Structure 1
Amino acid sequence: MSSKRESMADTAAWNTYALQNPGRRRANASGATTWFNWTQYADHGPGAEILDLPPASVVLELGCGKGGNLAHVATLGHRAIGLDVSPPQLAAAAERWGELPGLELYQAEAVAYLEETDEKLDAVFSVFGAAWFTAPDRLLPAVRARLRPGGVFAFSHRPAIEGCYGCQASYINRTEDEDPLVVKRWDYEPDRWVELLQLHGFTDATAKVLPAPPGRRKIGTLLTCARLT
């Protein structure tokens, strides 16, 4: 029963988040209408090349939100499957990107989908998404079971706060008169993420903090990538 209650609470939290956050802008600094962005900063960091996709790959995004990164994957000629627990997020993604060939959207929890599907995947990715908000001992085996040999699993999120590792509380604010909604997230230092991935059978695992762009911003982005051989 607790997992069902947590799932319902998470859906309510991400519905609230969806209503607070606008979708991706119509074009980036170079004028492109789709692009891949691993970091929380516009026009910053690497792109889809991190996934090292063969032609016509099958790619799954865990926590696709309003679909900006997933749409870019679809425009590259791949089958792009997106999961999210929030109907408003998926509705926004479908409204903007739903006509793109190869793009598929499903309301589903990440581990449940991975355990129920028979898809073989060339890559799985998450950008500040479900890979941050799902217990690694549940998620990593489920991802590994669905990846093809040579497949890539990559994800990004904010680095851990020093001394605060493992399961943490993440708050989504509402009005001043309401308590924030709480979801769980899992924070680790880069070396620990590499250890966890290797423990669950991934190889060529790397994790590093990408520095924020120059200026007053200080918080970087943790980018983790591993391959299944």
Structure 2
Amino acid sequence: MEIVDAWERYARGRTPRRETNASGAGTWLNWTQYPDHGPDESILGELQGRTVLELGCGTGCNLAHLATLGADCIGVDIAPTQRKKAVDRWDHLPGLTFHTAEATDYLTHTEGSFDVVLSIFGPVWFTDPERLLPLVHKRLSPDGMLVFSHRPPTAGIQPVGTLREARAVTRWDYDPAEWSALLTSSGFEYSEAEVIPPPEGQEAGTLLVRACA
């Protein structure tokens, strides 16, 4: 598939995440496109014993951190290279599993349910939300939560653009009001969004959206 090839090219060109962050931690959660920036996992609430699915998990670094906090974690990524990198780096951690699959295909065929679904610059940004969001909602446990982040839409561009690094991939650039309407129409009871300001010297912030089933 062209889209798989596109994400494989993207994955092969990515620089691996550092072994430790600025505070010396070996695992951490990063919602934004900038290192050591933005909120931590506390916005997800209690994680011990909860089931977490990350769509577009990449090399598994964000999900690995949640596993160290007691969550039972599953990561899904469309690029086979990403799963290999994730397993090579994090296979020693308990409660952490990685799969190679397209997000909507995985959600359609899995029989599990999840307390938290994450997409950090992942498939929620790159998949038709009218197709993806109802599938996410169906797989969430009662009171489950979808949390995702991506760059805010840029003024003057079309809502649906093209990923620069992988031109076979469509991008859905929606603002908070548009996401709220889409989430409501997909069955979510409540959602909230904020734009995390960028670090000093940078221009682009990060849109962070939380929605409850």
Could you tell me how far 1:116 is from its partner in structure 2?
A: 0.8
Residue identity in the other structure for 1:189 = D
Cα separation, 2, equivalents of 1:190 and 1:165: 16
Residue 198 (1) aligns with residue 191 (2):
no
Q: Within 2, Cα distance between the matches of 1:167 and 1:116? A: 27
Q: Is the 8 A contact 1:74 1:100 kept in 2?
A: yes
| Ranges in structure 1 where 5+ consecutive residues have no aligned partner | 1-7, 173-179
188, 212, 217: which one pairs with 2:202? 217
* Cα distance in 1 for residues equivalent to 2:169 and 2:156: 19
RMSD: 1.2
Query: Residue 53 of structure 1 contacts residue 123 of structure 1 at CA under 8 Å; is this kept in 2?
Result: no
Contact 1:84 1:108 in 2 (8 A): yes
Looking at structure 1, the residues matched to 134 and 64 of structure 2 have their Cα atoms a distance apart, in angstroms, of: 26
Inter-partner Cα distance in structure 1 for 2:62 and 2:169? 23
Does the 8 Å contact 1:52/1:152 carry over to 2? Answer: no
Of 59, 68, 79, the residue aligned with 1:75 is 68
Task: Determine if contact 1:206/1:225 at 8 Å carries over to the other structure.
Answer: yes
* 8 Å Cα contact 1:211/1:219 also seen in 2: yes
Q: Aligned ranges for residues 112-191 of structure 1 at < 5 Å? A: 112-172=105-165, 181-191=167-177
Distance in 1, Cα, partners of 2:46 & 2:113: 14
Show structure 1 runs of 4+ deviating over 6 A.
none
Gaps of 5+ in 2: none
**Residue 35 of structure 2 aligns with which residue?**
42
SS of equivalent to 1:32: coil
CA drift at 1:22? 1.4
C-alpha distance in 1 between matches for 2:77 and 2:47:
25
SS at match of 1:131: helix
Q: Distance in 1 between matches of 2:132 and 2:70?
A: 27
User: How much does 1:23 deviate?
Assistant: 1.6
How big is each residue's C-alpha offset from its partner over 1:50-70, in whole Å with a ceiling of 9 and x where there is no partner?
A: 222453111000000011101
Instruction: Give CA deviations for 1:129-148 in whole Å, capped at 9, x if unaligned.
Output: 11111100011000000001
Answer yes or no: is the 8 Å Cα contact 1:53–1:122 preserved in 2: no
In structure 1, what is the Cα distance between the partners aligned to 2:28 and 2:155?
32
State the SS of the aligned residue for 2:160: strand
Is residue 171–residue 182 contact of structure 1 (8 Å, CA) maintained in 2?
A: no
CA distance in 2 between partners of 1:47 and 1:182 (Å):
32
For residue 98 of structure 1, what is the aligned residue in structure 2?
A: 91
* Cα contact 2:152–2:206 (8 A) shared by 1: yes
Give the residue type in structure 2 aligned to 1:202.
Answer: F
Secondary structure at the aligned position of 1:149 is classed as: strand
Please, which of 101, 107, 126 is the counterpart of residue 108 of structure 1?
Answer: 101
Rounded to whole Å, the distance in 1 between the matches of 2:43 and 2:2 is: 33
Q: Percent identity?
A: 48
